[in-house]
């Protein structure tokens, strides 16, 4: 009858709710259109022709944090900029993830001085750290794939617990 007679016996795919949701979350993650310094240039290169981030469903950068899932902190985070980044993170809706791109965002990099926050994990929780000064586009892609792996292991329950306990 109807569509099944045309398509034949397709069978049934069974999955868990977690797997289905995580598949959706990894397949079209929207990064925040946000750059700080040198790493942002490599991030642009990752977006552009040769490395083509849209292979991961990530070609759509949202300029507003309300519509983004992923914050890529690309570059050195200074003390003056830190409250701004924190506010951007707070404005993002759950579920949200953070990649610290490059040495400066991960640990302060070459700047061990008065002006630079020694790693953006001092102000926001970070999921994946990408090393390099600046990291090559391949390294960033690897970081994004590592994040995908992490998300595949997550459960929607984790986010619910986090929401209830406000942590």
Partner 1 sequence: MALQTAGNSEQMSEWQGSLDELKGLVSERAITGETMLLNMGPHHPSTHGVLRLLLELDGEEVVSCLPDVGYLHTGIEKTIESKSYEKGVTLTDRIDYLSPMSNNMAYCMAVEKLVGLEVPKRAQIMRVICMELTRINSHLVWLGTHAIDMGAMSVLLYAFRERERVLQMFEMLSGQRLMGSYIRPGGVWRDFPEAFLPALESFLEYFPPRIDEYERLLTNNPLWIDRTQGVGVIEPEKALAWGMTGPSLRGSGVAWDLRKSMPYSSYDEFDFNVPVGEHGDVYDRFYIRILELRESVKILKQAIQKLPAKGPFRSEDRKFVPPPRSELGQSMEAVIHHFKLWTEGFSAPDQEVYSAIESPRGEVGVYIHGTGGNKPRRVHFKTPSFMHISAMPLMSQGHLIADLVAIIGSVDIVLGDCDR
Q: Report the distance separating Cα 81 and Cα 153, nearest Å.
A: 32
Min. distance of Cβ 28 from partner 1 in angstroms? 19
* Cβ distance to partner 1 smaller for residue 134 or 143: 134
Out of 1, 3, 17, 63, which residue is the one contacting partner 1 (CB under 8 A)? Answer: 63
By CB under 8 A, tell whether 60 contacts partner 1. no
Residue closer to partner 1 by CB (options 84, 156) is 84
Using the contact rule CB under 8 A, the part of the chain among 3-11, 14-22, 115-123, 148-156 near partner 1 is 115-123
**49 near partner 1 (CB under 8 A):** yes
| Element housing 138 (H / E) | helix 137-152
- The DSSP secondary structure of 46-58, one letter per residue, reads HHSTTT-GGGGT-
Closer by beta carbon to partner 1, 21 or else 82: 82
Question: Which has the closest alpha carbon to 151: 64, 59, 57?
Answer: 57
Burial class (CB in 10 A: 0-12, 13-18, 19+), 107: middle
Q: Residue 98 belongs to what H/E stretch? A: strand 97-101
Given the rule CB under 8 A, which residues bind partner 1?
Answer: 33-38, 40-42, 44-45, 48-50, 61, 63, 75-76, 78, 80-81, 83-84, 86-88, 90, 110-116, 121, 123-125, 133-134, 136, 166-167
């Amino acid at each position: 009858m109807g569509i099944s007679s045309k398509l034949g016996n397709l069978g049934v795919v069974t999955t868990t709710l977690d797997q289905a949701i995580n598949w959706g979350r990894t397949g079209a993650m929207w990064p925040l259109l946000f750059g700080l310094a040198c790493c942002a240039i490599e991030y642009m290169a990752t977006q552009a022709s040769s490395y083509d981030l849209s292979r991961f469903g990530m070609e759509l950068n949202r300029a507003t944090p309300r519509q983004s899932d992923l914050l890529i902190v690309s570059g050195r985070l200074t003390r003056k900029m830190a409250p701004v980044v924190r506010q951007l993170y707070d404005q993002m809706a759950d579920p949200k993830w953070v990649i610290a791109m490059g040495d400066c965002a991960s640990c302060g990099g070459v700047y061990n001085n008065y002006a630079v926050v020694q790693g953006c994990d001092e102000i926001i929780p970070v999921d994946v750290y990408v090393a390099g000064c600046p990291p090559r586009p391949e390294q960033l892609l690897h970081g994004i794939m590592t994040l995908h792996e992490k998300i595949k292991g997550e459960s929607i329950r984790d986010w619910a617990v986090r929401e209830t306990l406000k942590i």
